Chains A and B, each alone.
Chain A
Amino acid sequence: MKVYLDNNATTRMAPEVLDSMLPFLTERYGNPSSFHSFGSDVMEEIESSRERVARLIGASPEEIVFTSGGTESDNAAIMGAVALNPLRPGLLVSTVEHPAVLRTAEVLEERGFPVSFADVLPDGTLDLESCSRQLSETTGIVSVMMANNETGVIMPVGEAAEMAREAGCLFHSDAVQAVGKIPVDVGSMGLDLLSLSGHKFHGPKGVGALYVRRGVELPPLIAGGHQENGMRGGTYNVPGIVGLGMAAELALEGLSGEKARCSGLLEKLEKGVLSSCPGSVLLGGKAPRLPNTCTVLFRGVESEAVMTLLDIQGICVSSGSACSTGSTAPSHVLTAMGVDPRDAVTAIRFSLSRYTSEREIDHVLQELPPIIRKLRELSPYAD
């Protein structure tokens, strides 16, 4: 039996999404920028997709720029924002951001931009006081993720955005893990920029979007064409964009009922794991979390050994770290939360989706406890 609980890595594409894309991979291959109607008719589909994506996050269609995905959106938002105002070249990010943001911050720092980091509290949420302390007159943009990819902890982006606005800087949120899973409204949250990715909510890979609030004049992401209002040159990724639109539509429909179902399964999984696996600790258990994500420490057993045995049982999960090239560092997210490095390497992330079945959860609850017990018997740290 195959059990896929790694939906924060990527999700299965919805069949409706595939159906919506197929015509554009076959007979409707026209270029939306063409004069003739065979091509220009396709532009209507692009714009309809733009509307769907905008609706999912409470934006206006003209505020949506299609990109190749979350990483591009993060790069473009941050790189663009720090260049907007020479008096405010500073970047402030949380310590638990995705590498798409953290690496971008490091690159900017190497180029001489002032970069600072806001801490998180032990429950994984942003430390707003730390954020406030780090804000300065030279800060141009604050970037805080909406929900953490490893722990699923939801960040107080509304409060952080307000803080940024009062300090006179822009606010970006990497919402790649949040969009499609929890309601997102750029207006009420006060966001200037937001990144989202299609394949994290049952859309296709290689397509995402950047929300740019009206009035924020980012430089073009890619020069060389008139597409996306000159913001991002290059022929439209038509099938991807259409698929993203359909995925956004489905996500919006599913946000109420599906969310409850998913969190019900997650709760069953968490309770089952914690009660049957010795040494297990739920991370961010008291913080608001995505309805699909939990990360559990299995103290005393290294995650890779657990994942290897789970893999044999057909169970796909993930960990924050991997023992690979001899330079394995425990997850920066977990260590930022104050988790001991020796415990951080025992973390396993389970991430569910709308396609997760109760049978899958039952299978995990049957296979996992003996694996943990077996490995703990071998462990010098099992006490």
Chain B
Amino acid sequence: MWKYSEKLMDHFMNPRNSGQLPDPDGHSEVGSPQCGDAMTLDIRVDEQDRISDIRFMTFGCAGAIAAASALTEIARGKTLDEALSISNDEIIDFLGGMPEEKYHCSVMGHEALEGAVDDFRVRRDRVLRHLEQILAEPPAELAGAVSGAGPEVVHVHPSRASIRFSDGSVRGIGDLLGKELSRRTGRSIAVEVVE
């Protein structure tokens, strides 16, 4: 048996944030070719770019499971950039140390986090791209409402977006925009028009 710390064993036996998120904002699947370990990570991201929920699944040893659990605890509530700066040492310290031979088990978590954040950003950029396209060249049913009012994108998220019109009007076209955006991206996206 490896000499595992009490805290590591606790995270192994009672993993925090395990499972999957329905319709996550970012998802990744990574594997360690070194030892066959594998991991999935799901994140939910709020308007402030903070990780509001995070879930993992791990195929691996006690060290790998505990490291994934620790990573999710550290990352939860952090902004994406803050989360990306979490180091392996931080995870190992959080767990009260780890046998040196097991350090590689903690590397996978970081890779999974990078993957999920990348996925989130790709999805978000895609929504933004489509939204900007719609606003620039609106389809007939939206053309009247959109044109001339210089709509600007306030916030974009993989599952929602908000826009504002320069005259501050709320033109009640959020639903129509959402439908069009959902049609183009194949994802259900809500659009809100804010003042």
Question: Which residues of A pack against B, CB within 8 Å?
Answer: 300-302, 304-305, 308-309, 311, 323-328, 330, 341-342, 345, 377-381
Number of chain B interface residues as a range = 20 to 34
B97-108 vs A, Cβ < 8 Å mask (1 yes, 0 no):
000011111000
B60→A323 contact, CB < 8 A: yes
Q: A327 CA to B12 CA in the complex, in Å?
A: 22
Residues in chain B near residue A378, CB distance under 8 A: 15, 18, 57-58, 65
Distance between Cα atoms of A300 and B59 in the complex (Å): 7
CB contacts under 8 Å to A, within B1-59, are 1-2, 4, 12-13, 15, 18-19, 29, 34-40, 57-59
Q: Is the C-beta of B142 less than 8 angstroms from some C-beta in chain A? A: no
In the bound complex, residues from chain B placing their C-beta under 8 Å from that of A326 are: 34-35, 101, 103-104
A328 to B34, CA, bound (A): 6
- Segment 44-87 of B: residues with Cβ below 8 Å from A: 57-65
Q: Which of A302, A311, A328, A342 has the most chain B CB atoms closer than 10 A to its own CB?
A: A302
Q: Which residue of A lies closest to B57 (CB)?
A: A380
Which residues of A sit under 8 angstroms from B35, Cβ to Cβ?
323, 326, 328, 345
State A378–B2 Cα separation when bound (angstroms): 21
Enumerate chain A residues within 8 angstroms of B38, measured Cβ to Cβ. 342, 380-381
Q: Could you say which of B29, B37, B40, B101 contacts A302, with CB atoms under 8 Å apart?
A: B37
Residues of A within 8 A of B62 (CB): 304-305, 308
Q: Which B residues touch A327, using CB under 8 A?
A: 34
A–B pairs, 10, beta carbons within 8 Å: A301-B59, A302-B59, A304-B62, A323-B61, A330-B36, A342-B59, A345-B36, A378-B15, A379-B57, A380-B40
Query: What residues of A have a CB within 8 angstroms of the CB of B102 in the complex?
Result: 323-324
Interfacial chain A residues near B103, Cβ < 8 Å: 326
Query: Assuming A302-B37, A345-B35, what are 9 further A-B pairs, CB within 8 angstroms?
Result: A301-B59, A302-B36, A304-B61, A305-B61, A308-B4, A323-B60, A323-B102, A380-B38, A380-B57
